[in-house]
Amino acid sequence: MELSVRYQTTVFGELLKVMPRRVFAAIVSRHDGDRYDKDFHSWDHLVALIFAQLGGISSLRELTAIWNVQAPVHYHLGTGPVSRSTLSDANQRRPSAIFAEIFMHLSGLASRTLRREGDAVMRLIDATPIPLTSLSRWARWNGRTRGLKAHVIYDPDTDRPVHLEITPSTVNDVLVGREQPIEPGATYVFDKAYVDYAWWHRLHGAGCIFVTRPKTNVKLTVIKGRRLSQSAKQAGIVSDATVKLASQQRARLPIMLRRIDLRRDDGRILTIISNDLRRSATLIAELYRKRWQIELLFRWIKQNLKIRKFIGLSENAVRLQIHAALIAYLLLRLAARQSRSKLPPIRFANLVRARLFERRTLDRIDKPHKNPQPIPKTTTNQLAFGYA
Protein backbone atom coordinates (compact mmCIF):
# COMPACT_ATOMS: atom_id res chain seq x y z
CA MET A 1 0.00 0.00 0.00
CA GLU A 2 1.39 3.40 -0.98
CA LEU A 3 1.35 5.98 1.81
CA SER A 4 1.32 9.76 1.22
CA VAL A 5 3.31 11.88 3.65
CA ARG A 6 2.16 15.49 4.19
CA TYR A 7 4.91 17.99 3.47
CA GLN A 8 6.07 19.88 6.55
CA THR A 9 7.48 23.33 5.81
CA THR A 10 10.47 24.80 7.59
CA VAL A 11 10.38 27.35 10.41
CA PHE A 12 11.54 29.97 7.87
CA GLY A 13 8.71 28.95 5.54
CA GLU A 14 6.24 29.32 8.42
CA LEU A 15 7.49 32.86 9.08
CA LEU A 16 7.06 33.86 5.43
CA LYS A 17 3.50 32.53 5.14
CA VAL A 18 2.03 35.83 6.31
CA MET A 19 3.76 37.73 3.51
CA PRO A 20 1.03 38.71 1.01
CA ARG A 21 2.51 37.56 -2.31
CA ARG A 22 -0.12 39.26 -4.49
CA VAL A 23 0.31 42.55 -2.67
CA PHE A 24 4.09 42.17 -2.93
CA ALA A 25 3.85 41.49 -6.69
CA ALA A 26 1.73 44.63 -7.14
CA ILE A 27 4.27 46.74 -5.21
CA VAL A 28 7.13 45.34 -7.30
CA SER A 29 5.23 46.08 -10.51
CA ARG A 30 4.48 49.63 -9.39
CA HIS A 31 8.19 50.33 -8.83
CA ASP A 32 9.38 48.23 -11.79
CA GLY A 33 11.50 46.36 -9.24
CA ASP A 34 12.60 43.52 -11.53
CA ARG A 35 13.71 45.76 -14.36
CA TYR A 36 17.45 45.08 -14.03
CA ASP A 37 17.49 41.65 -12.36
CA LYS A 38 15.40 39.25 -14.43
CA ASP A 39 16.75 36.09 -12.80
CA PHE A 40 17.00 37.40 -9.23
CA HIS A 41 13.55 38.73 -8.51
CA SER A 42 12.47 41.09 -5.75
CA TRP A 43 11.01 38.16 -3.80
CA ASP A 44 14.35 36.30 -3.96
CA HIS A 45 16.08 39.47 -2.75
CA LEU A 46 13.69 40.08 0.14
CA VAL A 47 13.85 36.47 1.36
CA ALA A 48 17.66 36.49 1.20
CA LEU A 49 17.92 39.71 3.24
CA ILE A 50 15.37 38.52 5.81
CA PHE A 51 17.39 35.33 6.13
CA ALA A 52 20.52 37.43 6.68
CA GLN A 53 18.73 39.32 9.47
CA LEU A 54 17.35 36.26 11.23
CA GLY A 55 20.51 34.20 10.72
CA GLY A 56 22.92 36.87 11.97
CA ILE A 57 24.79 36.99 8.64
CA SER A 58 27.60 39.55 8.42
CA SER A 59 28.86 39.40 4.83
CA LEU A 60 27.85 38.59 1.27
CA ARG A 61 30.24 35.64 1.20
CA GLU A 62 28.72 34.17 4.37
CA LEU A 63 25.18 34.76 3.13
CA THR A 64 25.65 33.06 -0.24
CA ALA A 65 27.59 30.13 1.25
CA ILE A 66 25.03 29.31 3.95
CA TRP A 67 22.05 30.03 1.72
CA ASN A 68 23.17 27.87 -1.18
CA VAL A 69 23.81 24.76 0.93
CA GLN A 70 20.10 24.84 1.83
CA ALA A 71 19.06 24.05 -1.75
CA PRO A 72 16.37 21.47 -0.77
CA VAL A 73 14.24 24.21 0.85
CA HIS A 74 14.56 26.83 -1.88
CA TYR A 75 11.65 25.52 -3.92
CA HIS A 76 9.21 25.70 -1.03
CA LEU A 77 10.35 29.25 -0.22
CA GLY A 78 9.77 30.28 -3.82
CA THR A 79 13.45 31.10 -4.34
CA GLY A 80 16.67 29.58 -5.64
CA PRO A 81 20.46 29.81 -5.20
CA VAL A 82 22.16 33.19 -5.33
CA SER A 83 25.61 34.46 -6.24
CA ARG A 84 27.55 37.23 -4.53
CA SER A 85 27.74 39.39 -7.65
CA THR A 86 23.99 39.09 -8.29
CA LEU A 87 23.12 40.02 -4.73
CA SER A 88 25.60 42.89 -4.73
CA ASP A 89 24.13 44.30 -7.96
CA ALA A 90 20.60 43.99 -6.59
CA ASN A 91 21.61 45.84 -3.43
CA GLN A 92 22.86 48.67 -5.61
CA ARG A 93 19.93 48.94 -8.00
CA ARG A 94 16.67 47.59 -6.59
CA PRO A 95 14.43 50.43 -5.30
CA SER A 96 14.31 50.43 -1.50
CA ALA A 97 10.75 51.80 -1.77
CA ILE A 98 9.63 48.20 -2.46
CA PHE A 99 10.77 47.04 0.95
CA ALA A 100 9.44 50.23 2.56
CA GLU A 101 5.94 49.54 1.21
CA ILE A 102 5.91 45.89 2.25
CA PHE A 103 6.98 46.98 5.73
CA MET A 104 4.00 49.36 5.90
CA HIS A 105 1.63 46.63 4.71
CA LEU A 106 2.94 44.15 7.29
CA SER A 107 2.66 46.78 10.02
CA GLY A 108 -1.01 47.22 9.15
CA LEU A 109 -1.48 43.45 9.22
CA ALA A 110 0.20 43.30 12.63
CA SER A 111 -2.16 46.00 13.88
CA ARG A 112 -5.22 43.93 12.97
CA THR A 113 -3.67 40.73 14.33
CA LEU A 114 -2.09 41.96 17.55
CA ARG A 115 -4.36 44.79 18.73
CA ARG A 116 -6.47 44.18 21.81
CA GLU A 117 -10.06 45.39 21.58
CA GLY A 118 -10.76 48.61 23.43
CA ASP A 119 -7.15 49.81 23.54
CA ALA A 120 -6.71 53.55 22.96
CA VAL A 121 -4.34 54.50 20.15
CA MET A 122 -0.93 55.47 21.50
CA ARG A 123 2.09 56.48 19.44
CA LEU A 124 5.69 56.90 20.60
CA ILE A 125 7.98 58.93 18.34
CA ASP A 126 11.77 58.82 18.38
CA ALA A 127 14.83 58.38 16.18
CA THR A 128 18.00 56.32 16.48
CA PRO A 129 21.34 56.82 14.70
CA ILE A 130 22.65 54.18 12.29
CA PRO A 131 26.44 54.69 12.43
CA LEU A 132 28.45 53.82 9.31
CA THR A 133 32.17 53.52 8.75
CA SER A 134 34.28 55.87 6.66
CA LEU A 135 34.05 53.32 3.83
CA SER A 136 30.54 54.66 3.16
CA ARG A 137 31.83 57.94 1.77
CA TRP A 138 28.35 59.17 0.89
CA ALA A 139 27.32 59.17 4.58
CA ARG A 140 27.07 62.58 6.27
CA TRP A 141 28.58 63.64 9.59
CA ASN A 142 26.35 65.52 12.07
CA GLY A 143 29.04 66.30 14.63
CA ARG A 144 28.53 63.05 16.56
CA THR A 145 27.66 60.30 14.06
CA ARG A 146 28.44 59.53 10.43
CA GLY A 147 25.64 57.64 8.78
CA LEU A 148 21.85 57.56 8.68
CA LYS A 149 19.03 58.01 11.13
CA ALA A 150 15.95 55.79 11.51
CA HIS A 151 12.86 57.74 12.54
CA VAL A 152 10.20 55.44 14.00
CA ILE A 153 6.61 55.81 15.13
CA TYR A 154 5.87 52.92 17.48
CA ASP A 155 2.73 51.37 18.94
CA PRO A 156 3.66 50.11 22.43
CA ASP A 157 0.39 48.22 22.93
CA THR A 158 0.98 45.90 19.98
CA ASP A 159 4.79 46.16 20.05
CA ARG A 160 5.00 47.13 16.39
CA PRO A 161 6.70 49.92 14.46
CA VAL A 162 3.95 51.87 12.69
CA HIS A 163 6.12 54.02 10.45
CA LEU A 164 9.77 54.09 9.43
CA GLU A 165 11.58 56.96 7.76
CA ILE A 166 15.30 56.76 6.94
CA THR A 167 17.20 60.04 6.54
CA PRO A 168 20.78 61.32 6.65
CA SER A 169 22.03 61.78 10.20
CA THR A 170 22.01 65.57 9.70
CA VAL A 171 18.20 65.76 9.46
CA ASN A 172 16.53 67.14 12.60
CA ASP A 173 14.14 64.73 14.32
CA VAL A 174 11.23 67.17 14.46
CA LEU A 175 11.39 67.85 10.70
CA VAL A 176 10.44 64.21 10.08
CA GLY A 177 8.02 63.86 13.00
CA ARG A 178 5.82 66.78 12.04
CA GLU A 179 5.46 65.57 8.44
CA GLN A 180 3.82 62.27 9.42
CA PRO A 181 0.03 61.89 9.09
CA ILE A 182 -1.82 62.70 12.32
CA GLU A 183 -4.17 60.04 13.69
CA PRO A 184 -7.13 61.92 15.20
CA GLY A 185 -7.72 61.15 18.86
CA ALA A 186 -4.38 59.38 19.38
CA THR A 187 -2.00 60.01 22.26
CA TYR A 188 1.49 61.04 21.13
CA VAL A 189 4.52 60.78 23.42
CA PHE A 190 7.94 62.17 22.41
CA ASP A 191 10.97 63.85 23.96
CA LYS A 192 12.12 67.46 23.76
CA ALA A 193 13.80 66.95 20.38
CA TYR A 194 10.29 67.35 18.91
CA VAL A 195 9.51 70.89 20.07
CA ASP A 196 7.43 72.55 17.36
CA TYR A 197 4.55 74.63 18.71
CA ALA A 198 2.71 74.86 15.38
CA TRP A 199 2.79 71.04 15.09
CA TRP A 200 1.61 70.66 18.69
CA HIS A 201 -1.29 72.99 17.84
CA ARG A 202 -2.22 70.78 14.88
CA LEU A 203 -2.17 67.72 17.15
CA HIS A 204 -4.44 69.50 19.61
CA GLY A 205 -6.80 70.54 16.80
CA ALA A 206 -7.11 66.89 15.71
CA GLY A 207 -8.24 65.87 19.19
CA CYS A 208 -4.89 64.32 20.06
CA ILE A 209 -3.15 64.29 23.41
CA PHE A 210 0.58 64.99 23.45
CA VAL A 211 2.94 64.33 26.34
CA THR A 212 6.50 65.62 26.11
CA ARG A 213 9.22 67.65 27.84
CA PRO A 214 9.84 71.37 27.38
CA LYS A 215 13.24 72.81 26.53
CA THR A 216 15.07 74.32 29.47
CA ASN A 217 14.72 77.91 28.19
CA VAL A 218 10.95 77.83 27.60
CA LYS A 219 8.97 80.39 29.64
CA LEU A 220 5.69 79.20 31.14
CA THR A 221 3.17 81.32 33.04
CA VAL A 222 1.29 79.54 35.83
CA ILE A 223 -2.50 79.99 35.60
CA LYS A 224 -3.36 77.90 38.65
CA GLY A 225 -1.85 75.19 40.76
CA ARG A 226 -3.46 71.78 41.14
CA ARG A 227 -3.80 69.87 44.36
CA LEU A 228 -1.73 66.68 44.51
CA SER A 229 -3.34 63.47 45.66
CA GLN A 230 -1.58 61.19 48.10
CA SER A 231 -1.00 58.63 45.32
CA ALA A 232 0.61 61.36 43.16
CA LYS A 233 2.99 62.28 45.98
CA GLN A 234 3.89 58.62 46.48
CA ALA A 235 4.61 58.39 42.73
CA GLY A 236 7.23 61.14 43.11
CA ILE A 237 5.20 64.03 41.66
CA VAL A 238 6.33 67.33 43.14
CA SER A 239 3.95 69.80 41.49
CA ASP A 240 1.07 69.99 39.05
CA ALA A 241 -0.16 73.22 37.43
CA THR A 242 -2.14 74.64 34.53
CA VAL A 243 0.15 76.90 32.49
CA LYS A 244 0.44 78.79 29.22
CA LEU A 245 3.34 79.84 27.05
CA ALA A 246 4.81 83.32 27.30
CA SER A 247 3.27 85.94 25.04
CA GLN A 248 5.91 85.82 22.30
CA GLN A 249 5.39 82.07 21.84
CA ARG A 250 1.69 81.86 22.61
CA ALA A 251 0.67 82.88 19.08
CA ARG A 252 1.88 79.51 17.78
CA LEU A 253 0.29 77.49 20.61
CA PRO A 254 -2.68 79.44 22.03
CA ILE A 255 -3.90 76.70 24.39
CA MET A 256 -3.67 75.85 28.06
CA LEU A 257 -1.04 73.30 29.03
CA ARG A 258 -0.30 71.08 31.99
CA ARG A 259 3.10 71.17 33.69
CA ILE A 260 4.02 68.28 35.98
CA ASP A 261 7.30 68.07 37.90
CA LEU A 262 8.39 64.56 38.74
CA ARG A 263 11.29 63.57 41.01
CA ARG A 264 13.44 60.83 39.48
CA ASP A 265 15.05 58.01 41.42
CA ASP A 266 18.37 59.87 41.29
CA GLY A 267 16.79 62.97 42.87
CA ARG A 268 16.69 65.11 39.72
CA ILE A 269 13.46 66.84 38.68
CA LEU A 270 11.87 65.85 35.34
CA THR A 271 9.38 68.36 33.89
CA ILE A 272 6.56 67.05 31.69
CA ILE A 273 4.09 69.15 29.72
CA SER A 274 0.88 68.06 28.05
CA ASN A 275 -2.36 69.43 26.61
CA ASP A 276 -4.28 66.89 28.72
CA LEU A 277 -6.16 68.86 31.40
CA ARG A 278 -8.34 65.95 32.53
CA ARG A 279 -6.21 62.93 33.42
CA SER A 280 -4.51 62.68 36.78
CA ALA A 281 -0.91 63.78 37.12
CA THR A 282 0.04 60.20 37.96
CA LEU A 283 -1.43 58.86 34.72
CA ILE A 284 0.21 61.55 32.58
CA ALA A 285 3.57 60.78 34.19
CA GLU A 286 2.98 57.09 33.46
CA LEU A 287 2.29 57.90 29.81
CA TYR A 288 5.67 59.62 29.53
CA ARG A 289 7.39 56.69 31.22
CA LYS A 290 6.08 54.49 28.40
CA ARG A 291 8.40 56.37 26.04
CA TRP A 292 11.16 54.10 27.32
CA GLN A 293 9.58 51.24 25.34
CA ILE A 294 10.73 52.68 22.03
CA GLU A 295 14.27 52.87 23.42
CA LEU A 296 13.96 49.16 24.26
CA LEU A 297 12.79 48.51 20.67
CA PHE A 298 15.91 50.21 19.26
CA ARG A 299 18.14 48.30 21.67
CA TRP A 300 16.52 44.94 20.84
CA ILE A 301 16.81 45.43 17.08
CA LYS A 302 20.45 46.54 17.29
CA GLN A 303 21.37 43.60 19.52
CA ASN A 304 19.42 40.86 17.74
CA LEU A 305 19.25 41.92 14.08
CA LYS A 306 21.87 43.25 11.67
CA ILE A 307 21.85 47.05 11.55
CA ARG A 308 25.34 47.53 12.98
CA LYS A 309 27.28 45.82 10.21
CA PHE A 310 25.96 45.84 6.65
CA ILE A 311 26.47 43.52 3.69
CA GLY A 312 26.83 46.40 1.27
CA LEU A 313 28.34 49.89 1.40
CA SER A 314 26.02 51.88 -0.88
CA GLU A 315 23.22 53.99 0.58
CA ASN A 316 20.61 51.90 -1.24
CA ALA A 317 22.05 48.66 0.19
CA VAL A 318 21.96 50.04 3.73
CA ARG A 319 18.39 51.27 3.32
CA LEU A 320 17.29 47.86 2.00
CA GLN A 321 18.81 46.11 5.02
CA ILE A 322 17.27 48.51 7.55
CA HIS A 323 13.84 47.87 6.05
CA ALA A 324 14.56 44.12 5.99
CA ALA A 325 15.42 44.28 9.70
CA LEU A 326 12.09 45.91 10.58
CA ILE A 327 10.24 43.43 8.34
CA ALA A 328 12.00 40.57 10.14
CA TYR A 329 10.96 42.10 13.47
CA LEU A 330 7.31 42.18 12.39
CA LEU A 331 7.50 38.60 11.11
CA LEU A 332 8.83 37.47 14.49
CA ARG A 333 6.04 39.30 16.32
CA LEU A 334 3.36 37.77 14.08
CA ALA A 335 4.94 34.32 14.36
CA ALA A 336 5.08 34.49 18.16
CA ARG A 337 1.38 35.40 18.22
CA GLN A 338 0.53 32.62 15.77
CA SER A 339 2.38 30.05 17.86
CA ARG A 340 0.73 31.36 21.07
CA SER A 341 4.18 31.17 22.57
CA LYS A 342 4.77 32.35 26.13
CA LEU A 343 8.49 32.67 25.41
CA PRO A 344 10.25 36.02 25.90
CA PRO A 345 10.84 37.76 22.53
CA ILE A 346 14.63 37.29 22.64
CA ARG A 347 14.26 33.56 23.45
CA PHE A 348 11.77 33.10 20.61
CA ALA A 349 14.11 34.92 18.17
CA ASN A 350 17.07 32.79 19.26
CA LEU A 351 15.09 29.58 18.69
CA VAL A 352 14.02 30.78 15.25
CA ARG A 353 17.66 31.54 14.38
CA ALA A 354 18.76 28.08 15.53
CA ARG A 355 15.95 26.24 13.72
CA LEU A 356 15.32 28.29 10.57
CA PHE A 357 15.54 25.30 8.23
CA GLU A 358 14.12 22.62 10.49
CA ARG A 359 10.81 21.15 9.38
CA ARG A 360 8.53 21.94 12.29
CA THR A 361 5.57 24.12 13.18
CA LEU A 362 6.00 27.33 15.14
CA ASP A 363 4.01 26.01 18.09
CA ARG A 364 6.76 23.40 18.57
CA ILE A 365 9.66 25.84 18.21
CA ASP A 366 10.77 25.19 21.80
CA LYS A 367 10.08 21.44 21.80
CA PRO A 368 12.63 18.66 21.17
CA HIS A 369 12.38 16.46 18.11
CA LYS A 370 9.86 13.68 18.31
CA ASN A 371 11.40 10.22 18.34
CA PRO A 372 10.63 8.44 15.07
CA GLN A 373 8.16 5.61 15.32
CA PRO A 374 9.76 2.18 14.93
CA ILE A 375 8.97 0.47 11.64
CA PRO A 376 7.12 -2.80 12.30
CA LYS A 377 8.65 -5.92 10.85
CA THR A 378 5.27 -7.09 9.62
CA THR A 379 1.98 -5.40 8.82
CA THR A 380 -1.59 -6.58 8.87
CA ASN A 381 -1.70 -6.18 5.07
CA GLN A 382 0.96 -8.79 4.42
CA LEU A 383 1.14 -12.53 4.87
CA ALA A 384 3.65 -13.77 7.39
CA PHE A 385 5.88 -16.58 6.23
CA GLY A 386 7.78 -18.91 8.44
CA TYR A 387 9.66 -22.16 8.32
CA ALA A 388 8.33 -25.25 10.00
Show pLDDT as tens, one digit a residue, over the chain (388 residues): 444 445 578 899 999 998 889 999 999 999 999 988 778 999 999 999 999 999 989 899 999 999 999 888 888 898 999 999 999 999 999 999 999 999 999 998 888 776 655 567 999 999 999 999 888 889 999 888 899 999 999 999 888 999 999 999 999 999 999 999 999 999 999 999 999 999 999 999 999 999 999 988 888 999 999 999 999 999 899 999 999 998 777 878 999 999 999 998 888 999 999 999 999 999 999 999 999 999 999 999 998 888 888 888 899 999 999 999 999 999 998 888 877 777 877 788 888 888 899 888 888 888 886 655 555 555 555 555 555 5
Q: What was the pLDDT predicted at 158? A: 86
What's the confidence (pLDDT) of residue 385? Answer: 52
**Over the range 47-66, which residues count as b (16 or more CB within 10 Å of their CB) and which as e?**
bbbbbbbbbebeebeebbee
In angstroms, rounded to a whole number, what is the distance separating the alpha carbons of residues 17 and 368? 23
Distance, in Å, from the CA atom of 36 to the CA atom of 166, rounded to the nearest integer, reads 24
- Strands (E) across 198-256 are located at 209-212, 220-225, 237-245
**Separation CA 127–CA 276 (nearest Å):** 24
Res 3: pLDDT: 46
What CA–CA distance (Å, rounded) separates 21 from 13?
Answer: 13
Return d(Cα 219, Cα 214) in angstroms, integer.
9
Q: Note the pLDDT of residue 144.
A: 87
Residue type (1 letter), 263: R
SS3 181: coil
CA proximity to 240, closest of 222, 225, 221: 225
> What pLDDT sits at residue 1?
45
| pLDDT attached to residue 191 | 94
